[in-house]
Amino acid sequence: MIRFTLTRTRFVRLAPAFLLPALAACAQPGGVHSASGANSGPVTVGIVAINDFHGALEPPKAAVTASDGKGGTVAVPAGGAAWLASAVDTVRGKYTYSLTVSAGDMIGATQLSSALFLDEPAIGVMNRISVDYNAIGNHEFDRGVDELLRKQNGGCQQLTTLKPCRLEKFGGAKFTYLGANAVKPDGTTLFPATAIRTFGSGKRQVKVGIIGLTLEATADLSSREGLKGIRFADEADTINGQVPYLKAQGADAIVVLIHQGGYTKGEPGPDGCANLTGEIGPILDRLDPRVDVVVSGHTHWAYVCNYAQYNPAKPILLTSAGVQGLMVTDITLEIDPATDRVVAKRAHNVIVQSGGYTGRNGPVEPTAIYPQFAPRKDVQDYVGSYVDASKLEIQRPVGKLAGEVRRPGGDSSGDGGSLGNLITDAQLAATRSAGAQIALMNPFGIRAPHSIVPAADGSVTFGQIYAVQPFTNNLVTQTLTGAQLKEVLEQGLDDNQPKQRLSVSAGFAYSYDMTRPAGSRIVTMTLDGKPIDPAADYRVTTNSFLANGGDSFAGLARQRDAVIAPMTDVEALEAWLSTGGMRAVPGETRSSEAKR
C-alpha cells in the first residue's frame, strides 16, 4: 500500500516561521544536503515543480491567501523570478536527488519586460533556476512553431515582427521541452515525448520516468496559422502509450507533466482538494495505474490531491502551483529499489513570499507566519537588465481614461466587464474601414491584472494596456449571417468549455437564458436597437485568435470575406485611447440574463 501524506484543507500547512529553523533562502543553485547514508530502505527523490510561469520576471503584485494559524486567513505577497529562484534552491536543497520541472506556459501572456524581448529573458531565468524539463503548454505556441523551436535551440533568426537578441545572444533553453502529444504531419513528435533520470548506483539505483504533454485542445487555444499542421493527440491515450516504454527502460516511478488542470471549491488555495472539477479528472480516470504523480497546470489553480478520494482505483498524487511563480510545489517520492516501486509520496505548495506591495485594497505586507525568501542576486540583476531596457516603453503614455475599467472576477470569470467593452469599442473603431458593425472579444483573452487604473490625471501607459492584451493578435473582420452570429454567442455558453459571455461593442446587445438547453440559450440580439435578422449579413471584427476558432469558437473560423487590419489588438486600443480626449468608461451592460 502506498502511503500518502497530503494536506486536506485549502490552506498551506506550513508551520509558522517562529516554529521553523531559518530557511536557506540564499542557497546556491544546485545545492544539496547530504543524506543519512543509509544503505537500506527507500531512496528519496524530490520533485520541485512549477507551472504557468507566464514570464513573470517581476513580482506581479499578487498575494496567496493562506492560513494565519488562528482559524483565519492572511494575504501573503508572493512572486518574482529572483524570489522564485531562492525558493526553488531551498526546496531542492532538502534532497540529495531531485528534479526541477515545469508543466507548461512558461512563456506567453508575459510581462512586458519579457514579451518585448520575445520571452528570451523568461528562458534565461529558467536556465539560471536550473529547470530540467518543461512540458509544452498552449502559450508556448503563441508565436508559432518555428519561434518555439528557437526557444529550445537558440539563435537570432527573426521569425516574428520583433527583433530577437537585442540585449544578448540567445543561446536557447538549457532544459528540455517535452511534448508527447504534439504530432507533426509525418507522425513524429515536435519535441521528445519522455525522459528518464537515474539516481544512485548499484543496488540503490532508482529511475524516474517523465512524460510531458499539453492539453488536446491546444489547437483551439493557439493561432492555427502558426502551428504548421501540428495536431494534439488525446492526453490519456498518449500517456498510457508511453508508460510501458518507460517501464521497459527501468523506470521505478512515473511522473507526468501535463498542461491541463482542475479547480477546487472556493477561492484558489495553496493546498487541498475539496470538490475537484475540471478537465483533469476524466484524464486521470483513464490513466495507467502505474502513473505515480501528475504535475498539472493551465487553470492557474493551486491544489494538492490524493486522487484516490475521487477514484480509489487511481491513487495518483495530483499537484498544481497556481500561476506566475507565486508558489512552488515540493514533492517527495520514496522509491524502494528492491521492489522497483514508489512506496510513499507527499507534496505541499510553498509560498514564494517576496516583498510587500500596494494593491487595489491597500498595502499587502510580508508576514512572519511564513518564511520570506531573499531575492537571488544573479537572477535579480539579470531581470533588472531587461526591466531597465523596457521601462521607456512601459511608461510611455498612450491616452486618457475617465476611470478604472475592469474584467470582474479575474481568471475565473467569464465576464469581460467594462474592460471588455473598452476593447471591443476600440476594435470596432479600428476596423470601420473594413465595414465592421460589431466587434467581439473573449473575456478569457483579457489577462492579469484584469484592469486598467488610470493616474490621477487620467493618463494610461502602454505597459497597462499591454498587460491586459499581451498577445499582439491581428484584427480580422469577416461576414457572418445573423444566424451564424447567434451560433458564435451560443458557443460561449455551451457545456463544452468554461462559459464566457463574449464582450461586444457599443450598439450591439444580447440576452440569454441559462435554463434553456445548450444551443438555444441566446434569447435576443439587437444592433442599434433593431433585432438581428438571421438571414442578413453583418460585418464582425475579432482578434485573429478567435477568427481561427480559438477558445472553441469554431463559428468564427469561417472567415468569409475576411479583411486583416494593418494593426494589432493592442495597437487598436492605443489608438482609441489616444484620440477623443478623455475616454469615458463604457460601463453599460451589453449582455444580460433574459427577463422571464
Residues 401 and 317 grouped into a single domain: no
- Residues 577-589 as b/e (b if ≥16 CB within 10 A, e otherwise) read beeeeebebbeee
Q: What percent of the chain has pLDDT over 70?
A: 93
Handedness of CA 125, 127, 129, 131 (dihedral sign): positive
Q: What is the 3-state secondary structure (H, E, C) of 403-463?
A: CCEECCCHHHCCECHHHHHHHHHHHHHHCHHHCCCEEEECHHHCCCCCEECCCCCCEEEHH
pLDDT reported for residue 24: 31
Residues 317 and 411 grouped into a single domain: no
pLDDT reported for residue 532: 98
**Predicted confidence (pLDDT) per residue in 254-296, tens digit:** 999 999 999 998 554 588 899 999 999 999 999 999 999 999 9
Residue 4 has pLDDT above 90, yes or no: no
- Grid cell at residue 379: 537572477
Residue 29 has pLDDT above 80, yes or no: no
Q: What percent of the chain has pLDDT over 90?
A: 81
Residues 265 and 284 grouped into a single domain: yes
pLDDT reported for residue 14: 37
pLDDT reported for residue 15: 35
Return the closest-CA partner of residue 81 out of 371, 352, 270, 447.
352
pLDDT reported for residue 33: 35
Residues 367 and 422 grouped into a single domain: no
Residues 377 and 400 grouped into a single domain: no
Integer Cα distance of 296 and 416 in angstroms: 26
* Mean pLDDT confidence for 86-103: 98
Q: Where are the alpha helices (DSSP H) in 32-175?
A: 81-92, 112-115, 120-129, 145-153
Integer Cα distance of 252 and 363 in angstroms: 48
pLDDT reported for residue 393: 92
* Mean pLDDT confidence for 481-507: 95
Residue 30 has pLDDT above 70, yes or no: no
Among 15-24, 382-391, 571-580, the range with the most confident prediction by mean pLDDT is 382-391
pLDDT reported for residue 491: 96
Residues 136 and 215 grouped into a single domain: yes
Residue 595 has pLDDT above 50, yes or no: yes
Looking at per-residue pLDDT, the higher value among 366 and 564 belongs to: 366
pLDDT reported for residue 220: 81
Integer Cα distance of 188 and 198 in angstroms: 26
Is residue 190 within 8 Å of residue 184, measured between CB atoms? yes
The mean pLDDT of the chain is 91
Residues 443 and 530 grouped into a single domain: yes
Q: Where are the alpha helices (DSSP H) in 131-289?
A: 145-153, 218-221, 235-248, 280-285
Grid cell 493578435 in the structure block, residue: 473
Residue 391 domain-assigned? no
Contacts of 130 (CB under 8 A, 6+ apart): 29, 30, 88, 100, 174
Q: How far is CA 100 from CA 197, 558, 593, 594, in A?
A: 12, 43, 47, 50
Number of domains in the chain: 2
pLDDT reported for residue 265: 82
Query: Of 386, 420, 435, which residue sits at a domain end?
Result: 386
Among 10-24, 306-320, 561-575, the range with the most confident prediction by mean pLDDT is 306-320
Residues 382 and 418 grouped into a single domain: no
* Residue 21: pLDDT band with limits 50, 70, 90: very low
pLDDT reported for residue 412: 74
Residue 23 domain-assigned? no
pLDDT reported for residue 270: 82
Return the closest-CA partner of residue 589 out of 387, 444, 417, 431.
417
Taking CB atoms within 8 Å and a gap of at least 24, the contacts of 142-146 are 142/107, 142/108, 142/109, 142/222, 142/223, 142/226, 142/471, 143/108, 143/118, 143/226, 144/223, 144/225, 144/226, 144/227, 144/228, 145/190, 145/226, 145/227, 145/228, 145/230, 146/228
Residues 190 and 68 grouped into a single domain: yes
Residue 253 domain-assigned? yes
Q: Where are the alpha helices (DSSP H) in 59-171?
A: 81-92, 112-115, 120-129, 145-153
pLDDT reported for residue 269: 57
Residue 28 domain-assigned? no
**Predicted confidence (pLDDT) per residue in 177-223, tens digit:** 999 999 999 999 999 999 999 999 999 999 999 999 999 999 888 87
pLDDT reported for residue 360: 77
CA torsion 374-379-380-383 (nearest 10°) is: -150
Centroid of chain to Cα 151: 18
Residue 594 has pLDDT above 80, yes or no: yes
Residue 33 domain-assigned? no
Looking at per-residue pLDDT, the higher value among 19 and 155 belongs to: 155
Residues 347 and 491 grouped into a single domain: no
CATH no. for residue 413? Answer: 3.90.780.10
Residue 12 has pLDDT above 50, yes or no: no
Residues 105 and 169 grouped into a single domain: yes
* Mean pLDDT confidence for 299-304: 93
Among 11-20, 30-39, 463-472, the range with the most confident prediction by mean pLDDT is 463-472
**Predicted confidence (pLDDT) per residue in 97-152, tens digit:** 999 999 999 999 899 999 999 999 999 999 999 999 999 999 999 999 999 999 99
pLDDT reported for residue 266: 58
Query: Of 355, 386, 417, which residue sits at a domain end?
Result: 386
Residue 29 domain-assigned? no
3-state secondary structure of 491: helix
pLDDT reported for residue 267: 53
CATH no. for residue 82? Answer: 3.60.21.10
Residues 430 and 493 grouped into a single domain: yes
Segment (H or E) for 131: none
pLDDT reported for residue 498: 84
Integer Cα distance of 518 and 522 in angstroms: 9
Integer Cα distance of 360 and 279 in angstroms: 32
Residue 16 domain-assigned? no
Is residue 81 within 8 Å of residue 50, measured between CB atoms? no
pLDDT reported for residue 326: 97
**Predicted confidence (pLDDT) per residue in 577-587, tens digit:** 998 799 999 99
pLDDT reported for residue 140: 97
Q: Which amino acid is at 4?
A: F
Residue 444 domain-assigned? yes
* Mean pLDDT confidence for 512-532: 97
Residue 355 has pLDDT above 90, yes or no: yes
Is residue 482 within 8 Å of residue 532, measured between CB atoms? yes
Integer Cα distance of 444 and 220 in angstroms: 13
The residue segments making up the domain with residue 53 are: 3-9+43-386
Is residue 258 within 8 Å of residue 320, measured between CB atoms? no
Handedness of CA 497, 498, 499, 503 (dihedral sign): negative
Query: Of 368, 386, 404, which residue sits at a domain end?
Result: 386
- Angle at which helices 120-129 and 81-92 pack, to 10 degrees? 20
Return the closest-CA partner of residue 216 out of 179, 176, 177.
179
Integer Cα distance of 52 and 139 in angstroms: 9
